[in-house]
Chains A and B, each alone.
Chain A
């Protein structure tokens, strides 16, 4: 991965006014992917939307990391099921009327 595809975790933390230890905790919970380069933690740009969502859930809604882990898992399942429902609805339409 090229360096320009990543953001230093420290920069992200300053922008969001959060502690770097929060990123360490997320790594421990396997909630985000990080890259260690020259003793600095980098965040791939692709994980930023997910990370920002986690930051909002934790700091705005006071949800702990165990809760976030559960929520993200359930949201992924909902997304898969939603796609499945959509596909079935479209197929069903073909047999109606």
Chain B
């Protein structure tokens, strides 16, 4: 295990920011920590990074605690904070060099790693510019370059795509996958479920300081999905079409709204072909068909009664 959390509790005055969180992150994973703003993700990350001690529980990183081997552990971690945390008075090259030195790199190796980190994030050509001259997305990438210069085993990324343009966002997400392919384990926090779903192999959902679900994307969806919805758009609507679909195996409900028919079926019915056959037999002119699968959003909604962006 790269990371093991056992019953972590962190309080700020009267508020319990992290409440009895236990989870494990295996080597080679991209582990997503999903939750709305204020769920306790950043507090949990701060605790993992050793910025604050938990009131209760134990954190094991690479099988050791921060107290027993803090420096050794920190050398193997790269942290990408939520906010841009680079030195504005230094160029991109100097910033990455600065962080490389802090992590013990020297001489030729340092130069090579700096070049590698800047190339990886696509900033090598702009290495002589200060962060102030960068776009928001480029600053985010520099934020990442500073965290990966020492090629850490574990990279912790706290909402690295907040406020960036789609192009930079895609670049960042691709970079994360590439870093993972090169051997780094990633812990990735976000309140964007699409990102988490796209890149993470394991996902933990947090809300109000608690860990409410944990598993792969499919496992999480399995936990909550009991039904599937199919949307069929036809050229002209007739109640007859709806009636013909009601008899299809697995269908529990059929609603008509203008040219759109919504068919609710039990999970795993696999009845789409039969529905199309029935409509074709009834001389319905089908324009589009869509199937709604359970998403992480619906998982969160089912578990908390709220949407992620509430």
* Binding between chains A and B: no
